[in-house]
Amino acid sequence: MEVQEIIQAMSNKGMRITEQRKTLARLFVDHEGYLTPKEVYEAMVQTYAGMSFDTVYRNLRVLQEMDIVEQFMFEDGIKFRLRCHTDEHHHHFICLECERTIPFHYCPMDHVQQYPEGFKPVKHKFDIYGYCETCQSGQSRQAAAR
C-alpha cells in the first residue's frame, strides 16, 4: 500500500487530510515492521511538537477500522503494522524474536460447528506466535555458547 492510497482511503471516508495524517501514512509505508503506539507518537512529535498521545492513538484506531493497519498483541503490548497486501481472509505466524510475519490461508472459524446461544460472531483474529527457523538456530547457537 502506498501513501497516496492511504490518503485516498481517508478522503473517501470523509476524513480531513492534514499534514499530520499524511505523515502518519508515510510512517507506516516506510516502516516494514511493527510500531507501538509510543513509537508512532515519538516519531510524530518530532515534527508536530504539540501533538498529543491521544490524537495519535485515535488516528491509529481509525486506520485500523479502515483496514489500513492491523493490530497485534505481543507479550510486551499492542503493536500496529500496515496491513498485508492480500485482500484474502488470512491469519499469521509471527516470530517473537524478529517479528517476521508469515500469512497463512487457513481459518479455524471454518470448523466451528456451533456458537453459544444468541452469539453472532462479526470478526475474529487468529495469530500463532513462535520462533522462525532463523531465530531458532540463533537461539540454539546462543545456548551452546553458554
Please state, in angstroms and rounded to a whole number, the distance separating the CA atoms of residues 74 and 46: 26
Categorize the per-residue pLDDT at 138 as very low, low, confident or very high, splitting at 50, 70 and 90. Answer: confident
pLDDT in tens, 21-71: 999 999 999 998 899 999 999 999 999 999 999 999 999 999 999 989 999
Helix-helix angle 37-47:19-30, to 10 degrees: 130
Give the global pTM.
0.78
Read off the C-alpha cell for 43: 516519531
Is-contact 117 99, C-beta < 8 A?
no
Pairing of strands 101-104, 69-74: unpaired
User: Domains (ranges, CATH) in the chain?
Assistant: 3-82 (1.10.10.10), 91-145 (3.30.1490.190)
